[in-house]
Chain A
Amino acid sequence: MLVETYLGRVSPLECDHLGHMNVQFYVAKVSDAAWHVMTSIGITPVFIRQRRQAPAAVKQEIAYLKEVLAGDLLRMESGVLEASERKITFFHRLTKIETGQVVMTSKVFTVNMDLDARRSAPLDAAVLACAQARLLPEGTA
């Protein structure tokens, strides 16, 4: 299931000398979206603060499909592609509001991390069950 995870605008500050949004800011928007998609499976801000664990990115694949310019309005939708005992793979799709064009897709491979031990840890059982119940259909990515 895809959920809306980001709704914003390209700032002139995010654009480079090629006249479009620099790649680092696609990743910044994926990062903001990540907190929302995590919340959709139970890893809320309060959960992270209290349970001291959260998925940490270990690998990312990005397809830059269209350039976006300063002032463009963007929307991210995100969901879960895979979930296992310690790992979740998230999918993000960034769309330009004006044209409806998909401008970026990304897969983020994560490992659940204990924020005190700074080591991998099993996912909470309820979170894992929720993630597995909300898996995106095959072929989404």
Chain B
Amino acid sequence: MSAPTFVTGRGAINPWECDQWGHLNVQFYLAKASDAQAHLAARLGLMPSRLRSVAGSLMPATDRALFKRELRAGDIYFIRSGIRAVSADGTLEIASRMVNQETGIESAAFETRLRWVARDRTTPLPWPDDVAAAAAALAGELVELQPPPPMAQVLPVRQQMDRLLLTYRGSVEAWECDADGVAPPRAHIARFNDAITHLFRAMKIDRAELFASGLGSAALDYDISYHRPLRAGTAVEIRSAMLAVSDKVYHLVHYVLDSASGELITTIVVAALFFDLAARKSVAIPPAVRAEAHRLIAENS
């Protein structure tokens, strides 16, 4: 018997959430998934008023996001979520699926591991007894939300960061953050989104020229580890490396670093592709781009 799932989000895609490629930008997928997780947490007894008053806080440890079908301005969606397990290390394993409500086609899959931490958003705490009991009661195999296969084994070897490409430099602003000054997943994703344009530049790809040639760029798969909270006022940078390239898909890694301390804040491995903007279908990576990708891989090895 399947563990229960719940509708945890419902809304519409607006043009201001869409990017140059004509579809919902990745950062808004994660924003909507975060809101859906809050609805699931409420079902465990973590209602907003309690979250404001207790000494604990929810914090994502990892996120896996698979982008399956694009959503475009005017589309309507819902999100369904359930709990896979409360693992031995105390993380709550949540699955969510974002579905185009008109077509019934799954647009994105999210697999998130949440931790219960102190107000510093770092120190692990045991889940409150009633929350742990509620989670255990709802957890189990989610027949409707089958787990995705693992990401291709292209996990990076940690390297000297200053040898990697600098693809973003900026700061975290209060308006991007939760009430306690910690940035939610969307803020991380927004920076990855900016970083890719700089990585493209290193590959001699001009986004405007790419667009004019009828090609777009899209993410397929994100594997994210949140190592430390990303706080308002922090100067951050991203170091990126190309990991692998095949006929259609390429893999890269971004490291979000605290510019002052050098501490690693977030790691994301990305699988991405190019697609025909008219046919909305993936295409082989252009030879010149593939050659540049191989050059970057060789430089990092």
Where the two chains meet, the residues of A that have a C-beta atom closer than 8 Å to any C-beta of B are 4-9, 12-13, 31-36, 39, 44-46, 48-49, 69-73, 97-98
Is the pair A97, B52 in contact by a Cβ cutoff of 8 Å? Answer: no
Binds A, one of B6-14, B192-200, B203-211: B6-14
Count of inter-chain pairs, beta carbons less than 8 A: 75
CB proximity of A127 to chain B, nearest CB, Å:
15
**Which A residues touch B51, using CB under 8 A?**
71
Q: Are A35 and B12 in contact (CB-based, < 8 A)?
A: yes
Contacts of A6 in B (CB 8 A): 10-11
| Chain B min CB distance to A68 (Å) | 9
B247 interface residue (CB < 8 Å to A): no
Interface stretch among B115-123, B150-158, B175-183, B261-269?
Answer: B175-183
Residue numbers in B under 8 Å from A97 (CB-CB): 39, 42, 47
| In the complex with contacts A71-B48, A98-B49, A7-B101 CB distance below 8 A | no
Closest to A28 in B: B14
| C-alpha gap A102/B79 in the complex (Å) | 23
Can you list 17 A-B contacts (CB < 8 A)? Answer: A4-B7, A5-B10, A7-B7, A7-B9, A8-B11, A9-B39, A32-B11, A32-B12, A32-B14, A39-B76, A39-B102, A46-B102, A70-B178, A70-B179, A73-B38, A73-B48, A98-B42
Report the nearest B residue to A54, measured CB to CB: B74
- A35–B77 CA distance with the chains assembled, in angstroms: 10
Write the residues of chain B forming the contact surface with A, with a CB cutoff of 8 angstroms: 7-12, 14, 32, 35, 38-39, 42, 47-49, 51-52, 74-76, 78-79, 101-102, 175-179
Minimum CB distance partner of A9 in chain B: B35
Chain B minimum-CB-distance residue to A72: B48
Cβ-closest chain B residue relative to A34: B12
The complex places the Cα of A91 from the Cα of B205 at a distance, in Å, of: 49
List, in ascending order, chain A residues with CB within 8 A of B38's CB: 9, 71, 73
- Cα–Cα distance between A7 and B47 once the two chains are bound (Å): 15
Q: Nearest 8 A-B pairs (CB), nearest first?
A: A7-B10, A35-B12, A9-B35, A71-B48, A32-B12, A98-B47, A45-B74, A32-B11
**Residue of B at shortest CB range from A71?**
B48
Q: Which residue of A lies closest to B10 (CB)?
A: A7
Closest CB of chain A to B175's CB: distance in Å?
6
Residues of A within 8 Å of B48, CB to CB, are 69, 71-73, 98
Most chain A beta-carbon contacts within 10 A, residue among B9, B48, B49, B74 = B48
Complex partner residue of B10 from A4, A45, A46, A71, CB under 8 angstroms: A4
Chain B CB within 10 A, most for which of A13, A49, A72, A73:
A73
Closest B residue to A8 using CB positions: B35
CB <8 Å contact, B178 and A36: no
Please measure, in the bound complex, the distance between the C-alpha atom of A42 and the C-alpha atom of B52, giving whole angstroms. Answer: 41
Contact across chains for A36 and B74 when beta carbons are under 8 A apart: no
Q: Are A36 and B12 in contact (CB under 8 A)?
A: yes
Smallest CB–CB gap between B134 and chain A, Å? 15
Contact assessment for B39 and A36 in the assembled complex, using a CB-CB cutoff below 8 Å: no
Q: Please, which residue of chain B has its CB at the minimum distance from the CB of A70? A: B179
Picked from B39, B74, B79, the residue with its CB within 8 Å of the CB of A35 is B74
